């Protein structure tokens, strides 16, 4: 966000959230032999918005970084509103 790149900041926050979630799942399912983290990471904002559009639900996404709260409201068929 400090670099004035809110889309890239949203993707970085999503990757961190996804990584933490996958790690938790792998801890709980130790018998799982192979898992590709890359299959679960959104690589573009368009990819993330596509998921929101398919779900037809608004998503309030937030991240705390460097002592600041950053939030995005993702609205189906309208895109991301940055705060």
Q: pTM for the complete prediction?
A: 0.55
Q: For residue 76, what pLDDT is reported?
A: 92
pLDDT at 69: 84
Contacting residues for 62 by C-beta, under 8 A, at least 6 apart? 69, 70, 71, 72
pLDDT tens digit sequence for 47-83: 888 888 998 989 888 888 888 888 889 889 988 876 6
């Amino acid at each position: 966000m400090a670099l004035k790149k809110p889309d890239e900041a949203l993707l970085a926050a999503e990757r961190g959230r996804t990584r933490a979630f996958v790690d938790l799942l792998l801890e709980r399912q130790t018998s799982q032999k192979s898992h590709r983290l890359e299959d679960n990471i959104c690589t573009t904002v368009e990819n993330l918005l596509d998921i929101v559009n398919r779900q037809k639900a608004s998503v309030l996404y937030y991240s705390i970084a460097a002592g600041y709260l950053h939030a995005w409201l993702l609205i189906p068929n309208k895109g991301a509103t940055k705060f």
